[in-house]
Structure 1
């Protein structure tokens, strides 16, 4: 058996401003750091330990992982970063307030970009300073692979490649692995783990800093799945995540 824990990063300063983050490096807020500490406490209380951890190139996920490992007293374990674990790229919407984009493009259109599995937001134009190909963080990545926008499907496909190339082999045997990433990249992993269809994948949500724990057999089939919600704050985030309004409310 192997253990895989998926954690979405903590709340960011941009989330309180209701802005599209995507690949922008929105920092954790003070609340997000506290949420990350809570995730570490929950994992420690459950007796979970890890052999290796993975995260994205974005600081909100990297910092969340650092706080969790510090709470676990496991700051020395190997950590691997991959751009394929980044959040979905929101194209030209990135950095803008969600409600304002709903007013500009129409609520239904923005809801379609956010929740449809195949819809792509408007792409970043050539020369836009927000392009990943212009960011030194991605200097080692083939520019042809870096997106200017992404649908949920495209984000899931790049994460699927990482699952098959990196995570699935590492889970062989009795691996104990921790992944701290983003809603869309975790959605892509859950799609692989649970065999979700397009509609189920598009509707998948995960609350900030609530560990999702999988126990897998030798064929990577799910034996157990549980969400660790420690304390009042964790239970509130869990409740809100499960009762969010549907697809038509684009700014939620």
Structure 2
């Protein structure tokens, strides 16, 4: 019996990635380069004869567009796609929209490094009336406001990604489905931390390139037996 495969795909470069801005839950589009990266990811997957049974994405356009562009290369736009906020990027709070270099000049490199790379330190929180508070976005109308973040650490992101993985994705994998997950740098880092049992202090050094399919193969006990980039 073949190993079941899950492909983790960080969205292609976004406009704010290009501009070196904190993005978080801000709904910014892919850049031209990002669209090309997403299509190229689909080409790589096609070359390796991947065929997916289902796809999961976040609620943000850059991940949704990435999954669409990749699946189009595989003639698989017809497969079931579930959009879920648990796969959203880490919410960067009041840092969202700010240029990372300018923020470092204002608050110091060390403080910005702590906000960006520490495991359990949250950024400055947005207020309920902020344009970056997700409770004011129609996408999230059905979510209890007690669950909607004002700003998250990577640990917070981990704590919302894992229940979705175990409760929604794993049962689909156990049925033998090959899965594509198109999401974000931090939501995927949270998942990789779990799958590879990476320590809190070590996950801060893990980087996931945009538009590069990361394949995990699972045995019948749902244990990852192999992982590799295409």
TM-score, normalised by the number of residues in structure 1: 0.88
Q: 1:81, 1:198 → 2: CA distance? A: 28
Q: Distance in 2 between matches of 1:186 and 1:41?
A: 21
Cα deviation, 1:204-235, whole Å, max 9, x if unaligned, reads 2110010000110011112221101xxxxxxx
Q: Provide the rounded CA distance (Å) in 2 between the counterparts of 1:220 and 1:29.
A: 36
Taking the aligned partners of 1:48 and 1:200, their CA distance within structure 2 comes to: 31
1:22 corresponding residue in structure 2 = 24
2:104 is matched with 102
Q: Distance in 2 between matches of 1:89 and 1:33?
A: 23
Matching residue within 2, 12, 17 for 2:4: 2
Task: Give, in whole Å, the separation in 1 of the partners of 2:103 and 2:45.
Answer: 38
C-alpha separation in 1, matches of 2:216 and 2:17: 27
The CA RMSD measured in Å over matched residues stands at 0.9
Q: Structure 1 residue 182: deviation in Å?
A: 0.1
Residue deviations 1:167-212 (CA, integer Å, cap 9, x gap): 1111104220000000111111112222222122222211001000
Q: Deviations over 1:32-87 (max 9, x none)?
A: 00000110000000111100000000000000000001010001000001100000
Runs of 4+ in 1 over 6 A off after TM superposition: none
Distance 2:183 2:202 in 1: 19
The equivalent residue for 2:58 is 56
Q: CA deviation at 1:92?
A: 0.2
Q: TM-score, normalised by structure 2?
A: 0.97
User: Displacement of 1:127 after TM fit?
Assistant: 1.4
Report the equivalent of 2:41. 39
